[in-house]
Structure 1
Amino acid sequence: MTNHQKRLSVPKSWPVERKTETFTAKAGAGPHGESGVPLVVVLRDVLGYVDDTSEAQYVLNNDGVLVNGDSVGDVKRPIGMFDILAFPERDEYYRVFPDEGGRLGLTSIDADSADSKLSKIEDKTTVTGGDVQLNLHDGSNLLVDEDVYSGGDSIVVDNETNDVVAHFEYEEGALVTAVAGQHAGDIGRIEDISVQPGSADNTVTVEGADGGFETVEEYVVVIDENFVEDDAELPGDDE
């Protein structure tokens, strides 16, 4: 099996130039499925901290990078939406966040914000013993004691304890961002959730400072004000 991925066929979310070279690194097994971007691509193509895979591996071998609070050793480790990257020696911390067009970008955050990670609940199941298991957007799951969560909600999980430290419900009035489609990266508040009959996708109307947008339900994630710039205006803030 090849260790390379043709640039022209990478997912649209990958932050790589497609026509500069033929190949790029291939993501290994792990979270985020096919949309996961190899860590080496983030270090090399996005941040410019390394020139090649060997340099990236050296950084990892010296615990130079933490992903969601954990040291990683595989340069092909998939990185995806809402992951937290920490560079302790540099005192730099980033959240993976969708840029315009749906490509994954990095948003600088402070050290305190790097202690936890936002996750979208895709659905939930009841496992043996009666515990509730939340199935999250990156393919991971989490057992919780209380059945107070629904699909579409978002939670914030402490990286060290794995405890839920915040819960944001998917409902009208909730602050959301689009993570895919033509409105990826846009932020606003849910004005209306339209449930479609049959197998059609439910749609969401989002009110934003620039007029808002409509998109399919799958593309929106509930977030909190920490994702919004301090000077950003949002509908309902002055009410």
Structure 2
Amino acid sequence: MSRHLKSYAAPKSWTILRKVNKWILRPQPGAHELERSLPIGLLLKQLGCAQIKKESKKIINDKAVMIDGKIIKDIHFGIGFMDTVSIKPNTNLRCTLDQKGRLKFINIPESETNKKICRINNKTTNRKGKSQLNLSDGRNLLVEKKEYATGDSILIELPSQKIIEHFPLAKGNTAFITSGRHIGTIGTIQEIKENKVWCSKDKEKVETLSKFAFVVGKNTPAIKL
């Protein structure tokens, strides 16, 4: 697989000037699908940390970049929804989505760089009777408790993956809509029926599919979004 993309064919979620350069970095395959993944080398250029690929490589080789608490060694490493990015000396970011479906990076306090919310995409049981949670960012966690359900979210500590808090897909909790007409909207879950969820924000009630409702907290988001 080529390690570059033609700029005009880059995902719509990327905020780039498509006619300036013919080629652009391709994120390596990983936890996030191509349409929702931005290579760290490109982010370093967008932030002004590097002007050319060689400078991005030097920053990575100097072990100055961490994603979700782990040092990154490849400029093609893909960043996606809810990932945290730390760049020395003092830049801390979280990847989220704007209301046009584009990847958006917001500044977060250093105290949040070791916290991440993941959605439970599905749940299985192993031979020993433990539940395996298969999460939105590709992680798989074994847990003793049976209370976790597909569609719920968990707040984890990084890089230990310790579960700090559990947010069920339930009325009254707060959800971030990750796709569809209302992408980027954060609202309170008002109703859940079959495969649909209704959320309210600023007195407006919006409808989305339950698979697009990413629970991010109880009364308010548990992290900065």
Distance in 2, Cα, partners of 1:163 & 1:27: 28
Partner of 2:13: 13
Partner of 1:211: 204
Partner of 2:135: 136
Deviation per residue, 1:99-155 (Å, 9 max, x gap): 121111111111111111111110111123222111111222111121210011111
Distance in 2, Cα, partners of 1:62 & 1:21: 27
Q: Contact between 1:101 and 1:182, CA under 8 Å: does it hold in 2?
A: no
Partner of 2:67: 67
Cα distance, 1:25–1:74 mapped onto 2, change above 3 Å: same
Q: Contact between 1:33 and 1:139, CA under 8 Å: does it hold in 2?
A: no
Aligned pairs for 1:17-96 (under 5 A) are 17-34=17-34, 35-45=36-46, 47-89=47-89, 91-96=90-95
Is it true that 1:154 corresponds to 2:153 in the alignment?
yes
Q: TM-score, normalised by structure 2?
A: 0.91
Partner of 2:192: 193
CA-atom RMSD in angstroms: 1.7
Quote the offset at 1:218 in angstroms.
Answer: 1.8
Q: Contact between 1:27 and 1:77, CA under 8 Å: does it hold in 2?
A: yes
Quote the offset at 1:64 in angstroms.
Answer: 0.9
What percentage of aligned pairs have identical amino acids?
29
Quote the offset at 1:160 in angstroms.
Answer: 3.0
Partner of 1:233: none
Q: TM-score, normalised by structure 1?
A: 0.86
Partner of 1:172: 171
Distance in 1, Cα, partners of 2:80 & 2:33: 9
Q: Which moved more, 1:150-159 or 1:121-130?
A: 121-130
Quote the offset at 1:227 in angstroms.
Answer: 4.2
Q: Contact between 2:155 and 2:163, CA under 8 Å: does it hold in 1?
A: yes
Distance in 2, Cα, partners of 1:82 & 1:31: 12
Quote the offset at 1:189 in angstroms.
Answer: 0.6
Q: Which structure has more strand as a fraction of its residues?
A: 2
Distance in 2, Cα, partners of 1:222 & 1:3: 34
Distance in 2, Cα, partners of 1:95 & 1:228: 8
One-letter amino acid matched to 1:127: N
1:221 corresponds, among 214, 217, 222, to 214
Aligned residue pairs, count: 221
One-letter amino acid matched to 2:133: L
Partner of 1:232: none
SS, match of residue 57 in structure 1: helix
Distance in 2, Cα, partners of 1:38 & 1:92: 17
Q: Contact between 1:172 and 1:192, CA under 8 Å: does it hold in 2?
A: yes
Deviation per residue, 1:161-186 (Å, 9 max, x gap): 21101111101111011122232211
Q: Contact between 1:37 and 1:80, CA under 8 Å: does it hold in 2?
A: yes
Distance in 2, Cα, partners of 1:219 & 1:160: 26
Q: Contact between 2:108 and 2:224, CA under 8 Å: does it hold in 1?
A: no
Runs of 4+ with >6 A deviation: none
SS, match of residue 112 in structure 1: helix
SS, match of residue 32 in structure 1: coil
Quote the offset at 1:30 in angstroms.
Answer: 1.6
